[in-house]
Amino acid sequence: MKELLRKILTPKKLDLSLDLAVAIPRIVYGYLLTAEFGSPKFGLPWSDPDKNLGLFEVAFWFPNDVAEYGGIFAMMPAFLAWMAAFSEGVGGIAWILGFQTRIFSFLIFCTMLVVVFVHQIQYGYWNMLPGMGILWISAISMVAGSGRFGLDFITSKLLSK
């Protein structure tokens, strides 16, 4: 079990330039995931300034949207909606910090698969691009981890001692 945990937490050892190439998109898109995509799903007051909705209405629009996808989404919309909001909101913060990068990258990858191929595909390829970008960054982060620019690098050094 300890060996599996070490494999998950230990980032790949790359050159400094490759570590930067992995870290910069992860940090930028981590911020965008948290600030622009994840926070409106939690019903925060600043999430939709154009609408004058009460906190109750803002907080529960997302599960209703998820239920409209049908299939498994209609069977448990609240759980899947909160998991998506968690993976975007909290996963974005984890990406910024480089904390549990592979685990959160997997959650974000699953969320972006749904975003791209269930939700945005009906609006055309142009609308799919942001989700596809995050999908590919999460795939790279699942393989490479945080690199040396993240808390996983420090954590893996502590675990190896």
pLDDT digits (tens, 9 = 90+) for 55-103: 555 556 778 888 899 899 999 988 998 899 899 999 999 999 999 999 9
Name the residue with higher pLDDT: 102 or 158.
102
Confirm if 40 and 61 have CB atoms less than 8 A apart: no
What's the 3-state SS for the chain? Answer: CHHHHHHHHCCCCCCHHHHHHHHHHHHHHHHHHHHHHHHHHHCCCCCCCCCCCCHHHHHCHHHHHHHCCCCHHHHCHHHHHHHHHHHHHHHHHHHHHCCCHHHHHHHHHHHHHHHHHHHHHHHCHHHHHHHHHHHHHHHHHHHHCCCCCCHHHHHHHHHHC
pLDDT at 47: 47
Q: What is the mean pLDDT of the chain?
A: 86
pLDDT at 46: 45
This prediction has a pTM of 0.86
Share of the chain above pLDDT 70, in %: 89
pLDDT digits (tens, 9 = 90+) for 135-154: 999 999 999 999 999 999 99
